[in-house]
Amino acid sequence: MQQSSNQILSARARTDNESIYNHNMGLTVSHFQLLEKSNCRDFSIFKFSQAVGRDHALVVFGTHLINSNNLGSYINQTKYAKFLTQVSRFYQREVQYHNDLHGSDVAQQSNFFLTKGGLWKNLRLKELDVVSVLVGALCHDLGHDGLNNMSHINAMTERATAFND
C-alpha cells in the first residue's frame, strides 16, 4: 500500500506545476491512500473531508476525479482548481444535506457508476462527456437553500413567486 501511495505522490509531482496537488494544502500519504479507495462503494466523503479539511475536500476530490480518470488534458488544471474553489464557497455549508459534501458524494458515486459500473464504456461516452458528468455532479446542488418547493410555496418566497406555476 505504501508503495502505490508513493507512486501516486510522484505522479502528482510530475503533473502541471499549478495543479491543486502542488498547492500547499498539506496533503499526506494517508490522504492519497484515502483517495485510492475513492472508486469503491464504501468510500466515505465524510472521512475524507475530516482528513483533508472541509475547506479543501471538494477541490481536492474534484481534482482527483479528473486526474484518476486521465482527463487532465481536457481541462486547464489551474482554472479548474479555481473554479472548484468557487464552487465549494458557493455551497451553503449550514444546509443539512444539499451542501458541498453532498456534491462530492454524488460525484464519487457518478464516477463509480461510470467506471466500475461500465457506463463510460457501455454508453460509448467521450472523455468530455465524462468531465461534464463529474463537474455536473460536483455542482448539481450549488446554492441550494435546503428547503423544498412546498416550503417555498407555503412561505411565499421570492423563489416560489418566480418559479411556481
Torsion sign, CA atoms 61, 63, 67, 71: positive
Q: Tens digit of pLDDT for each residue in 13-53? A: 444 433 445 454 677 788 888 899 999 999 999 999 999 99
Q: What is the pTM of this model?
A: 0.81
Domains with residue ranges and CATH for the chain:
2-163 (1.10.1300.10)
Q: Report the candidate in 79, 96, 88 with the shortest Cα–Cα distance to residue 142.
A: 88
Q: Which three cell numbers stand for residue 105?
A: 458524494
Range list of H helices, the chain? 2-13, 29-36, 45-52, 54-68, 77-90, 100-115, 119-122, 127-139, 149-155, 158-163
Q: Tens digit of pLDDT for each residue in 79-108? A: 999 999 999 999 998 899 999 999 999 999
